[in-house]
Amino acid sequence: MNTQSLEPENRNKFGLWLKTSITARMLMVGFLTIILLIPLSFIESLITERSFRQNDVVAEINDKWGNDVIVYGPILKLPYKHYTEIKTLNEKTNTYIKEIQTTIKYSYIFPTTLDAVSDVNSKTLHRGNFESAVYTAQMQFSGIFSKPNLTARDIKDEDIVWEKASILVRTSNLKGIKNEVYFKIDNRKYAFQTNYINNKNYLDELESSFLKPSDVPKEKDISFSFNIDYNGSKLIQVIPVGKTTTMQMKSNWPDPSFTGNFLPNDETKEISKDGFKADWKVLHINRPFSQQ
């Protein structure tokens, strides 16, 4: 009888102790927090797993569709004769014989003007519950090559092998190029061949066939144009190789992020829910590299 009568009293004392003891309250809060952290750890693990899976799916989609695009060119590749004096000892006469050895080296000339126009259409590709934003870019390039002055480099005009001149365009994402690429001068077209470089630190090269003598800027300026259509993802970069480089871009992507050393002109930049328009102008004095 005494034990049964004490049980309610003991419970009342325990409840009163919980109400009055700060230590007891902290212990109860800590215990409940630990209990709640268990399902939260499972949720965090699931979020981390989904995040890794999202990155894997994006990398897989982009690798099949096309990665980021970098265009570095066009560049006029001019071979020239380089002379080296070699001295050989004649043991019989104990004198040196001088010989001139001729080798071929290359000079790389950037255009005087380069105008780039890009029309970019973005869309989303899905893989299960995951997605990746990709784009199709139609890029048009035009400009002028002027006769190079290589005397400052100790290269004489008569040593330049003009008949072996060609055009280089260095670029990433060869897999994403959709059409054949031709370099156009007047009504003539020069097909590009691929110089694949198996090194992530360097861009791959598209090199044209040898230019005809009339299409080389030996006596006068030449105008050129070429188009490249890409399937790509993440970003587009154009190196401002022209002495004056202008670029215009429009896209249906509503949230662009402008990176690189040069931002678009604020006066003409337009961003809306339907996409954006932007243009750039870069002078040779703005760049950290020379014109040739």
- Together in a domain, 157 and 271: yes
* CB 55, CB 76: distance < 8 Å: no
Residue 105 half-sphere exposure toward CB, CA atoms < 13 A:
12
Going through 130-263 in order, the beta strands assigned E by DSSP cover 130-145, 166-171, 182-185, 188-195, 204-208, 222-233, 236-238, 244-251
- pLDDT for res 6: 46
Reported as a single tens digit per residue, the pLDDT across 225-252 is 999 999 988 889 999 999 999 999 999 9
Which range, of 81-95, 138-152, 244-258, averages the lowest pLDDT? 81-95
* Residue 143 falls inside a structural domain: yes
- Together in a domain, 47 and 160: no
Reported as a single tens digit per residue, the pLDDT across 61-71 is 777 888 889 99
**Distances in whole angstroms, Cα of residue 118 to Cα of each of 34, 194, 245, 282:** 56, 22, 14, 16
- Together in a domain, 192 and 240: yes
* Residue 97 falls inside a structural domain: no
- Together in a domain, 15 and 134: no
**9 falls in which pLDDT band (50, 70, 90)?**
low
For residue 190, give the CATH number of its domain.
Answer: 2.60.40
Reported as a single tens digit per residue, the pLDDT across 190-235 is 999 887 666 666 788 899 989 998 899 988 899 999 999 999 888 8
Residues 66, 68, 74, CA angle at the centre, nearest 5°? 105
Residues of the domain holding 9: 2-61
Task: Return d(Cα 118, Cα 249) in angstroms, integer.
Answer: 5
- Together in a domain, 159 and 249: yes
Residue-level length of the chain: 292
Which residues are CB-neighbours of 176 under 8 A, at least 6 positions away?
65, 66, 67, 69, 230, 231, 232
- pLDDT for res 189: 93
- Together in a domain, 266 and 174: yes
The mean per-residue pLDDT over the stretch 173-178 comes to 88
- pLDDT for res 238: 92
**Distances in whole angstroms, Cα of residue 38 to Cα of each of 28, 33, 51, 85:** 16, 9, 20, 79
**Distances in whole angstroms, Cα of residue 274 to Cα of each of 143, 247, 264:** 31, 20, 18
pTM for this one?
0.75
**21 falls in which pLDDT band (50, 70, 90)?**
low
- Together in a domain, 134 and 52: no
For residue 67, give the 3-state DSSP assignment: coil
Q: Name the DSSP letter for residue 51.
A: H
Question: What's the number of domains the chain is made of?
Answer: 2
* Residue (of 168, 232, 172, 230) closest to 201 by Cα position: 172
Query: DSSP for 161-185?
Result: -GGG-EEEEEES-GGGB-S--EEEE
